[in-house]
C-alpha cells in the first residue's frame, strides 16, 4: 500500500481517535458533573461523530466504526482489503484516544470511569443488551446507507448519522451505553483492562450491521447503487 492509498486508513485512524477521545472523555468528566449529565453525554457523542464523519467523508467515506465498515463490505461497497485496513485503523485510533485520556485527564476520574469504558446496566440481561445494541446499530447503519450511500440524495455529511447516535444514546445510554461501535468500546476497555460486557459491543453491532446491510443491499437501494 503506497502513501496515497494510506490516506483513507489514516483518516479513519484520526477520525476515530477524535470521536473516542471526545466521547469517552465526556464520560470521564461527567463523573465530576462537568459534562451535562446524560444529555451532555448524548450530545457529545452525537456531535463528535457528526463532525468526525464530515471531515473524513471525502477521504475515507467517514466510517469511524468497524460495524459501519462491516456493513459496507457486506453490501459490496468496499473490498476485503479496505475492510481490514479500516478496522485496524479504527481500533488503533480508539486505543490512542484512550491512552490520551488516561494521560491527560484527572487520574481519579479516569480510574473511577474506566477511561470511559461503556457499562451494561444490571437490570439488562446479556441477551437483552446484545439485542439492544443490534437494534441501535441497525438504525445507525441505516442512516449511513440512507444519507451517505444512497445516490441522488442531499448529502448531509455526517450530521444525520450523528443525530441517529444522539437519539439512540437518549434511549439506551443508561442501559448499554448505546455504543453501536466496537472501537468505541474496545479502546477504553483495553487501556483500563475493564472487559465488562465487551462481547455485547462486538456481537450486537455486528448483527445490527449485517441486518441493515442485507435490507439496503437487497431491498432498499436502487439497482444501480448496489454495485461497489
> What confidence tens digit (pLDDT) does each residue in 190-209 have?
999 999 999 999 999 999 99
Please give the DSSP secondary-structure letter assigned to residue 64.
-
pLDDT in tens, 15-44: 999 999 999 999 999 877 765 788 999 999
Span 84-89, mean pLDDT?
98
Report how far Cα 85 is from the mean position of its chain's Cα atoms: 16
* pLDDT at residue 34, rounded to an integer: 63
Which of left, alpha, beta for 118 (phi over 0: left; psi -120 to 50: alpha)?
beta
Q: Which of 78-87, 144-153, 208-217 has the least mean pLDDT?
A: 144-153
pLDDT band for position 2 (cuts 50, 70, 90): low
Domains of the chain with bracketed CATH:
7-225 (1.20.1080.10)
Q: How many other C-beta atoms are found inside a 10 Å radius of the C-beta of residue 119? A: 15
Grid cell for residue 80: 476485503
Q: Residue 119, SS3? A: coil
Computed over every residue of the chain, the mean pLDDT equals 93
Long-range contacts of 214-223 (CB under 8 A, 24+ apart): 214/74, 215/142, 216/75, 216/142, 216/145, 216/146, 216/149, 217/74, 217/75, 217/76, 220/145, 220/146, 221/75, 221/145, 221/149, 221/150, 222/151
Amino acid at each position: 500500500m503506497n502513501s496515497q492509498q494510506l490516506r483513507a486508513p489514516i483518516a479513519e485512524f484520526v477520525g476515530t481517535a477524535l470521536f473516542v477521545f471526545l466521547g469517552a472523555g465526556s464520560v470521564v468528566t461527567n463523573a465530576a458533573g462537568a459534562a451535562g449529565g446524560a444529555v451532555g453525554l448524548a450530545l457529545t457523542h452525537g456531535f463528535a461523530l457528526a463532525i468526525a464523519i464530515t471531515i473524513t467523508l471525502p477521504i475515507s467515506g467517514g466510517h469511524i466504526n468497524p460495524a459501519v465498515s462491516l456493513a459496507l463490505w457486506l453490501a459490496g461497497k468496499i473490498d476485503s482489503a479496505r475492510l481490514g485496513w479500516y478496522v485496524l485503523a479504527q481500533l488503533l485510533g480508539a486505543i490512542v484516544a484512550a491512552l490520551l485520556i488516561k494521560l491527560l485527564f484527572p487520574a481519579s476520574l479516569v480510574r473511577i470511569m474506566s477511561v470511559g469504558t461503556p457499562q451494561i446496566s444490571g437490570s439488562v440481561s446479556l441477551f437483552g443488551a446484545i439485542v439492544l445494541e443490534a437494534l441501535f446499530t441497525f438504525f445507525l447503519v441505516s442512516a449511513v446507507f440512507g444519507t451517505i450511500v444512497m445516490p441522488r440524495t442531499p448529502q448531509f455529511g455526517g450530521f444525520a448519522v450523528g443525530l441517529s447516535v444522539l437519539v439512540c444514546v437518549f434511549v439506551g445510554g443508561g442501559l448499554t451505553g448505546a455504543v453501536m461501535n466496537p472501537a468505541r468500546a474496545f479502546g477504553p476497555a483495553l487501556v483500563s483492562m475493564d472487559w465488562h460486557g465487551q462481547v455485547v459491543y462486538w456481537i450486537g453491532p455486528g448483527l445490527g450491521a449485517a441486518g441493515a446491510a442485507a435490507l439496503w443491499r437487497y431491498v432498499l437501494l436502487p439497482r444501480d447503487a448496489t454495485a461497489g
